[in-house]
Structure 1
Amino acid sequence: MQISIDPAEGIKTIKILPGEFYVTRENERIETVLGSCISACVRDPISGVGGMNHFMLPVDKNSTGASELSDANRYGNYAMENLVNALLNNGAKRERLEFKLFGGGRIMNSMTNIGWYNIGFAFDYVYTEGFKIVSQDIGDIYPRKILFYPNSGRVRVRRLNAMHNQSLAAEETRYINNIGTKPVEGDVELF
Protein backbone atom coordinates (compact mmCIF):
# COMPACT_ATOMS: atom_id res chain seq x y z
CA MET A 1 0.00 0.00 0.00
CA GLN A 2 1.34 3.40 -0.97
CA ILE A 3 0.08 6.69 0.47
CA SER A 4 0.55 10.06 -1.21
CA ILE A 5 -1.18 13.40 -1.76
CA ASP A 6 -2.54 13.95 -5.26
CA PRO A 7 -1.17 17.35 -6.37
CA ALA A 8 -4.07 18.08 -8.74
CA GLU A 9 -6.88 17.28 -6.29
CA GLY A 10 -5.03 17.84 -3.02
CA ILE A 11 -6.51 14.62 -1.66
CA LYS A 12 -4.84 11.80 0.27
CA THR A 13 -4.49 8.86 -2.12
CA ILE A 14 -4.02 5.23 -1.12
CA LYS A 15 -2.76 2.90 -3.85
CA ILE A 16 -3.53 -0.75 -3.23
CA LEU A 17 -1.84 -3.70 -4.90
CA PRO A 18 -3.01 -7.29 -5.47
CA GLY A 19 -3.85 -8.95 -2.17
CA GLU A 20 -4.61 -5.66 -0.39
CA PHE A 21 -7.70 -3.78 0.69
CA TYR A 22 -8.34 -0.43 2.36
CA VAL A 23 -11.33 0.94 4.29
CA THR A 24 -11.93 4.56 5.29
CA ARG A 25 -14.54 7.08 6.36
CA GLU A 26 -12.23 10.02 5.54
CA ASN A 27 -12.21 12.16 2.41
CA GLU A 28 -9.62 10.02 0.63
CA ARG A 29 -9.15 8.37 -2.74
CA ILE A 30 -8.30 4.69 -3.18
CA GLU A 31 -6.79 3.59 -6.46
CA THR A 32 -5.42 0.52 -8.19
CA VAL A 33 -4.54 -0.81 -11.64
CA LEU A 34 -6.29 -3.96 -12.86
CA GLY A 35 -5.70 -6.45 -15.64
CA SER A 36 -7.43 -9.77 -15.06
CA CYS A 37 -7.77 -8.96 -11.36
CA ILE A 38 -11.00 -7.71 -9.79
CA SER A 39 -11.62 -4.82 -7.43
CA ALA A 40 -14.80 -4.29 -5.51
CA CYS A 41 -15.51 -0.72 -4.44
CA VAL A 42 -18.00 -0.98 -1.59
CA ARG A 43 -19.64 1.67 0.56
CA ASP A 44 -22.44 2.38 2.97
CA PRO A 45 -23.89 5.69 1.73
CA ILE A 46 -25.41 6.52 5.13
CA SER A 47 -22.41 5.93 7.42
CA GLY A 48 -19.90 7.18 4.83
CA VAL A 49 -17.65 4.14 5.27
CA GLY A 50 -16.19 2.70 2.08
CA GLY A 51 -13.36 0.56 0.83
CA MET A 52 -11.75 -1.26 -2.06
CA ASN A 53 -10.05 -4.63 -2.49
CA HIS A 54 -7.87 -6.09 -5.25
CA PHE A 55 -7.73 -9.84 -5.79
CA MET A 56 -6.06 -12.07 -8.37
CA LEU A 57 -7.81 -15.45 -8.15
CA PRO A 58 -11.39 -16.42 -7.28
CA VAL A 59 -10.93 -18.93 -4.44
CA ASP A 60 -8.25 -20.80 -2.55
CA LYS A 61 -9.24 -24.44 -2.91
CA ASN A 62 -6.29 -25.72 -0.87
CA SER A 63 -6.73 -23.68 2.30
CA THR A 64 -5.59 -25.59 5.36
CA GLY A 65 -4.79 -23.03 8.01
CA ALA A 66 -3.68 -19.54 8.96
CA SER A 67 -1.26 -16.87 7.01
CA GLU A 68 -0.73 -13.18 6.66
CA LEU A 69 -3.87 -11.22 5.83
CA SER A 70 -2.45 -9.89 2.54
CA ASP A 71 -1.51 -13.43 1.50
CA ALA A 72 -5.09 -14.56 2.05
CA ASN A 73 -6.53 -11.54 0.23
CA ARG A 74 -4.96 -12.61 -3.05
CA TYR A 75 -8.05 -14.84 -3.33
CA GLY A 76 -11.51 -13.40 -3.86
CA ASN A 77 -13.19 -15.49 -1.16
CA TYR A 78 -10.91 -13.95 1.48
CA ALA A 79 -10.71 -10.48 -0.10
CA MET A 80 -14.49 -10.03 -0.22
CA GLU A 81 -15.15 -11.32 3.31
CA ASN A 82 -12.31 -9.29 4.82
CA LEU A 83 -13.44 -6.11 3.06
CA VAL A 84 -17.06 -6.56 4.17
CA ASN A 85 -16.01 -7.38 7.75
CA ALA A 86 -13.76 -4.28 7.91
CA LEU A 87 -16.60 -2.10 6.62
CA LEU A 88 -19.00 -3.51 9.24
CA ASN A 89 -16.39 -3.05 12.00
CA ASN A 90 -16.12 0.62 10.98
CA GLY A 91 -19.84 1.33 11.27
CA ALA A 92 -21.31 0.24 7.92
CA LYS A 93 -24.58 -1.70 7.89
CA ARG A 94 -24.72 -4.86 5.81
CA GLU A 95 -28.13 -4.11 4.28
CA ARG A 96 -26.93 -0.72 2.95
CA LEU A 97 -23.72 -1.87 1.24
CA GLU A 98 -23.42 -0.94 -2.43
CA PHE A 99 -20.95 -2.78 -4.68
CA LYS A 100 -19.21 -1.52 -7.79
CA LEU A 101 -17.14 -4.17 -9.62
CA PHE A 102 -14.21 -3.55 -11.95
CA GLY A 103 -11.58 -5.51 -13.87
CA GLY A 104 -11.45 -9.05 -15.17
CA GLY A 105 -9.92 -8.04 -18.50
CA ARG A 106 -8.23 -10.47 -20.84
CA ILE A 107 -5.11 -8.45 -21.39
CA MET A 108 -2.97 -11.12 -23.07
CA ASN A 109 -4.20 -13.84 -25.41
CA SER A 110 -1.55 -16.24 -24.12
CA MET A 111 -2.85 -16.00 -20.54
CA THR A 112 -5.65 -18.19 -19.29
CA ASN A 113 -9.00 -16.49 -19.04
CA ILE A 114 -8.65 -15.93 -15.29
CA GLY A 115 -10.52 -12.64 -15.67
CA TRP A 116 -13.77 -14.46 -16.51
CA TYR A 117 -13.35 -16.77 -13.50
CA ASN A 118 -12.82 -13.70 -11.31
CA ILE A 119 -15.90 -12.00 -12.74
CA GLY A 120 -18.01 -15.13 -12.19
CA PHE A 121 -16.81 -15.40 -8.61
CA ALA A 122 -17.49 -11.71 -7.86
CA PHE A 123 -21.07 -11.84 -9.20
CA ASP A 124 -21.75 -15.14 -7.45
CA TYR A 125 -20.46 -13.73 -4.16
CA VAL A 126 -22.49 -10.52 -4.36
CA TYR A 127 -25.74 -12.27 -5.29
CA THR A 128 -25.29 -15.17 -2.86
CA GLU A 129 -24.68 -12.73 0.01
CA GLY A 130 -27.69 -10.61 -1.00
CA PHE A 131 -25.77 -7.43 -1.82
CA LYS A 132 -26.58 -5.09 -4.68
CA ILE A 133 -24.36 -4.08 -7.58
CA VAL A 134 -24.89 -0.46 -8.53
CA SER A 135 -22.19 -0.19 -11.20
CA GLN A 136 -19.65 -2.26 -13.10
CA ASP A 137 -16.97 -2.11 -15.77
CA ILE A 138 -15.73 -5.66 -16.32
CA GLY A 139 -14.28 -7.97 -18.96
CA ASP A 140 -13.06 -6.87 -22.38
CA ILE A 141 -9.38 -6.76 -23.38
CA TYR A 142 -7.80 -3.76 -21.67
CA PRO A 143 -6.39 -2.92 -18.26
CA ARG A 144 -8.02 -0.27 -16.09
CA LYS A 145 -6.96 2.29 -13.53
CA ILE A 146 -9.64 2.64 -10.86
CA LEU A 147 -9.98 5.77 -8.70
CA PHE A 148 -12.57 5.39 -5.91
CA TYR A 149 -13.84 8.19 -3.67
CA PRO A 150 -15.56 6.33 -0.80
CA ASN A 151 -17.21 9.41 0.73
CA SER A 152 -19.20 10.19 -2.39
CA GLY A 153 -19.20 6.73 -3.97
CA ARG A 154 -17.78 8.21 -7.18
CA VAL A 155 -15.53 5.98 -9.27
CA ARG A 156 -13.40 7.08 -12.20
CA VAL A 157 -12.24 4.40 -14.61
CA ARG A 158 -9.37 5.02 -16.98
CA ARG A 159 -9.06 2.39 -19.65
CA LEU A 160 -5.37 2.00 -20.37
CA ASN A 161 -3.98 1.45 -23.85
CA ALA A 162 -2.19 -1.65 -25.10
CA MET A 163 1.19 -0.19 -24.15
CA HIS A 164 0.37 -0.99 -20.50
CA ASN A 165 -0.70 -4.58 -21.28
CA GLN A 166 2.77 -6.13 -21.44
CA SER A 167 4.04 -4.67 -18.17
CA LEU A 168 0.78 -5.47 -16.37
CA ALA A 169 0.72 -8.99 -17.80
CA ALA A 170 4.30 -9.56 -16.64
CA GLU A 171 3.42 -8.28 -13.18
CA GLU A 172 0.33 -10.51 -13.00
CA THR A 173 2.33 -13.53 -14.19
CA ARG A 174 4.95 -12.97 -11.47
CA TYR A 175 2.21 -12.51 -8.87
CA ILE A 176 0.26 -15.61 -9.90
CA ASN A 177 3.47 -17.70 -9.88
CA ASN A 178 4.21 -16.49 -6.33
CA ILE A 179 0.72 -17.25 -5.09
CA GLY A 180 1.32 -20.97 -5.11
CA THR A 181 4.48 -20.68 -3.02
CA LYS A 182 2.92 -18.97 0.00
CA PRO A 183 0.51 -20.65 2.38
CA VAL A 184 -2.85 -18.99 2.96
CA GLU A 185 -3.80 -18.27 6.51
CA GLY A 186 -5.91 -15.79 8.41
CA ASP A 187 -9.19 -15.49 10.18
CA VAL A 188 -12.29 -14.80 8.14
CA GLU A 189 -15.66 -14.41 9.77
CA LEU A 190 -18.22 -15.96 7.44
CA PHE A 191 -21.83 -14.99 7.83
Structure 2
Amino acid sequence: MEPDIVKDIFLQPGGYYWGENGTRIRTLLGSCVALCFWHPYTKTGGMAHIMLPNRPSHVLDPHPKYADDALEAFLKKFNQLGERPGRFVCKIFGGASMFSPEEDKLDEVKRIVEIGEKNVESVLKLVKKANIDLTASNTGGKSHRKIYFSLWDGEVYMENPKN
Protein backbone atom coordinates (compact mmCIF):
# COMPACT_ATOMS: atom_id res chain seq x y z
CA MET A 1 0.00 0.00 0.00
CA GLU A 2 1.29 3.44 -0.95
CA PRO A 3 2.35 5.60 2.01
CA ASP A 4 0.47 8.81 2.79
CA ILE A 5 3.52 10.89 1.90
CA VAL A 6 5.68 9.84 -1.06
CA LYS A 7 9.05 11.33 -1.91
CA ASP A 8 9.02 11.34 -5.72
CA ILE A 9 12.43 11.30 -7.44
CA PHE A 10 12.80 11.69 -11.20
CA LEU A 11 16.10 10.17 -12.30
CA GLN A 12 17.73 11.88 -15.26
CA PRO A 13 19.87 9.94 -17.78
CA GLY A 14 23.13 8.95 -16.14
CA GLY A 15 21.65 9.46 -12.69
CA TYR A 16 21.95 7.33 -9.56
CA TYR A 17 19.75 7.50 -6.48
CA TRP A 18 19.57 5.54 -3.23
CA GLY A 19 16.57 6.01 -0.95
CA GLU A 20 14.36 4.49 1.70
CA ASN A 21 10.79 3.54 2.49
CA GLY A 22 8.36 6.18 1.24
CA THR A 23 10.36 6.94 -1.91
CA ARG A 24 9.36 6.37 -5.52
CA ILE A 25 12.08 6.61 -8.16
CA ARG A 26 10.93 7.11 -11.72
CA THR A 27 12.64 7.53 -15.05
CA LEU A 28 12.10 7.39 -18.80
CA LEU A 29 14.17 4.87 -20.76
CA GLY A 30 14.92 4.35 -24.43
CA SER A 31 18.17 2.57 -25.18
CA CYS A 32 19.28 3.22 -21.59
CA VAL A 33 18.91 0.59 -18.86
CA ALA A 34 17.55 1.05 -15.34
CA LEU A 35 19.36 -1.12 -12.81
CA CYS A 36 17.26 -1.40 -9.65
CA PHE A 37 18.10 -2.89 -6.25
CA TRP A 38 15.76 -3.27 -3.28
CA HIS A 39 16.20 -4.73 0.19
CA PRO A 40 12.98 -6.45 1.34
CA TYR A 41 13.66 -6.06 5.08
CA THR A 42 14.98 -2.52 5.30
CA LYS A 43 12.77 -1.22 2.45
CA THR A 44 15.74 0.64 0.98
CA GLY A 45 16.89 0.61 -2.58
CA GLY A 46 18.15 2.48 -5.54
CA MET A 47 18.23 2.93 -9.26
CA ALA A 48 20.90 3.80 -11.81
CA HIS A 49 19.96 5.15 -15.24
CA ILE A 50 22.71 3.58 -17.37
CA MET A 51 23.46 5.22 -20.71
CA LEU A 52 26.54 3.29 -21.90
CA PRO A 53 27.86 -0.27 -21.44
CA ASN A 54 31.26 0.69 -19.97
CA ARG A 55 33.50 3.59 -19.14
CA PRO A 56 36.04 4.31 -21.91
CA SER A 57 39.68 3.99 -20.86
CA HIS A 58 40.36 7.69 -21.48
CA VAL A 59 37.66 8.71 -18.96
CA LEU A 60 39.28 8.64 -15.53
CA ASP A 61 36.42 9.56 -13.21
CA PRO A 62 33.74 6.95 -12.51
CA HIS A 63 30.16 7.91 -13.35
CA PRO A 64 26.95 5.87 -12.96
CA LYS A 65 26.01 6.52 -16.58
CA TYR A 66 28.38 3.62 -17.36
CA ALA A 67 27.18 0.10 -16.47
CA ASP A 68 30.42 -0.91 -14.76
CA ASP A 69 30.53 2.25 -12.63
CA ALA A 70 26.85 2.02 -11.75
CA LEU A 71 27.19 -1.52 -10.43
CA GLU A 72 30.34 -0.52 -8.53
CA ALA A 73 28.38 2.34 -6.89
CA PHE A 74 25.76 -0.17 -5.73
CA LEU A 75 28.39 -2.61 -4.44
CA LYS A 76 30.00 0.21 -2.44
CA LYS A 77 26.59 1.13 -1.01
CA PHE A 78 25.93 -2.49 0.02
CA ASN A 79 29.34 -2.57 1.72
CA GLN A 80 28.59 0.71 3.58
CA LEU A 81 25.34 -0.85 4.81
CA GLY A 82 27.11 -4.04 5.85
CA GLU A 83 24.94 -6.06 3.46
CA ARG A 84 25.73 -8.74 0.91
CA PRO A 85 24.53 -8.13 -2.68
CA GLY A 86 22.54 -11.38 -2.58
CA ARG A 87 20.19 -9.93 0.04
CA PHE A 88 18.88 -7.41 -2.49
CA VAL A 89 16.26 -7.91 -5.18
CA CYS A 90 17.73 -6.95 -8.57
CA LYS A 91 15.67 -5.88 -11.59
CA ILE A 92 16.59 -4.35 -14.95
CA PHE A 93 14.54 -2.56 -17.59
CA GLY A 94 15.13 -0.79 -20.91
CA GLY A 95 17.66 -1.30 -23.65
CA ALA A 96 15.31 -0.66 -26.57
CA SER A 97 16.44 -0.22 -30.17
CA MET A 98 15.11 3.26 -30.70
CA PHE A 99 16.26 3.69 -34.31
CA SER A 100 15.74 1.60 -37.42
CA PRO A 101 18.41 2.45 -39.98
CA GLU A 102 18.26 1.15 -43.52
CA GLU A 103 20.71 -1.59 -44.57
CA ASP A 104 23.01 0.82 -46.39
CA LYS A 105 23.54 3.23 -43.46
CA LEU A 106 26.95 3.87 -41.98
CA ASP A 107 28.47 1.56 -39.37
CA GLU A 108 28.34 4.39 -36.84
CA VAL A 109 24.55 4.53 -37.15
CA LYS A 110 24.32 0.75 -36.68
CA ARG A 111 26.50 1.02 -33.58
CA ILE A 112 24.14 3.64 -32.14
CA VAL A 113 21.15 1.44 -32.95
CA GLU A 114 22.70 -1.48 -31.06
CA ILE A 115 23.53 0.55 -27.94
CA GLY A 116 20.38 -0.65 -26.16
CA GLU A 117 21.32 -4.28 -26.75
CA LYS A 118 24.91 -3.59 -25.65
CA ASN A 119 23.69 -1.87 -22.48
CA VAL A 120 21.54 -4.89 -21.58
CA GLU A 121 24.36 -7.36 -22.33
CA SER A 122 26.81 -5.38 -20.22
CA VAL A 123 24.48 -5.09 -17.22
CA LEU A 124 23.58 -8.79 -17.37
CA LYS A 125 27.25 -9.79 -17.57
CA LEU A 126 28.23 -7.53 -14.65
CA VAL A 127 25.35 -8.70 -12.45
CA LYS A 128 26.20 -12.33 -13.15
CA LYS A 129 29.91 -11.75 -12.47
CA ALA A 130 28.99 -10.21 -9.09
CA ASN A 131 26.90 -13.34 -8.26
CA ILE A 132 23.69 -11.34 -8.05
CA ASP A 133 20.44 -13.05 -8.99
CA LEU A 134 18.26 -11.12 -11.39
CA THR A 135 14.65 -11.40 -10.20
CA ALA A 136 12.90 -9.48 -12.99
CA SER A 137 13.65 -7.86 -16.31
CA ASN A 138 11.95 -6.31 -19.28
CA THR A 139 14.45 -5.37 -21.95
CA GLY A 140 14.79 -4.86 -25.68
CA GLY A 141 11.96 -3.98 -28.02
CA LYS A 142 11.54 -0.87 -30.13
CA SER A 143 9.93 1.61 -27.77
CA HIS A 144 10.56 3.68 -24.68
CA ARG A 145 9.50 2.69 -21.16
CA LYS A 146 8.41 4.72 -18.17
CA ILE A 147 9.56 3.11 -14.92
CA TYR A 148 8.15 3.73 -11.43
CA PHE A 149 10.08 1.97 -8.62
CA SER A 150 8.40 2.03 -5.18
CA LEU A 151 10.80 1.49 -2.30
CA TRP A 152 8.04 0.74 0.21
CA ASP A 153 7.24 -2.56 -1.53
CA GLY A 154 9.96 -3.08 -4.16
CA GLU A 155 7.45 -3.10 -7.00
CA VAL A 156 8.26 -1.66 -10.41
CA TYR A 157 5.40 -0.36 -12.51
CA MET A 158 6.24 0.00 -16.18
CA GLU A 159 4.47 1.78 -19.01
CA ASN A 160 5.56 0.46 -22.39
CA PRO A 161 3.25 1.70 -25.16
CA LYS A 162 4.53 -0.15 -28.23
CA ASN A 163 6.25 -3.39 -27.13
TM-score normalised by structure 2 residue count: 0.83
Q: Which of 26, 29, 36 is matched with 2:31 structurally?
A: 36
**Larger mean Cα displacement after TM superposition, 135-144 or 78-87:** 78-87
Which residue in 2 is equivalent to 1:114?
115
Measured in 1, the distance between the counterparts of 2:147 and 2:5 equals 18
Which residue in 1 is equivalent to 2:77?
86
1:32-71 alignment runs, 5 A limit: 32-63=27-58, 65-66=60-61
Could you tell me which runs of 5 or more consecutive residues in structure 1 were left unpaired when the two chains were aligned: 1-8, 163-191
Q: Deviations over 1:92-128 (max 9, x none)?
A: 4322022100000011113421011011001101111
Residues 145 and 160 in structure 1, CA contact (< 8 A), matched pair in contact too: no
TM-score normalised by structure 1 residue count: 0.72
Q: Deviations over 1:36-83 (max 9, x none)?
A: 0001110121222210000111001324533xx6xx222111011113
Which residue in 2 is equivalent to 1:3?
none
Percent identity among equivalent residues? 27
Could you tell me which runs of 5 or more consecutive residues in structure 2 were left unpaired when the two chains were aligned: 102-111
Which residue in 2 is equivalent to 1:165?
none
Q: Which amino acid aligns with 2:157?
A: R
1:13/1:92 CA distance change after superposition, 3 Å: farther
Between the two proteins, the alignment pairs up a number of residues equal to 150
Q: Which amino acid aligns with 1:156?
A: Y
- CA RMSD, 1 decimal: 2.0
Three-state SS of the structure 1 residue aligned to 2:69 is helix
Three-state SS of the structure 1 residue aligned to 2:113 is coil
User: After the TM superposition, which segments of 4 or more aligned residues of structure 1 sit over 3 Å from their partners?
Assistant: 90-93
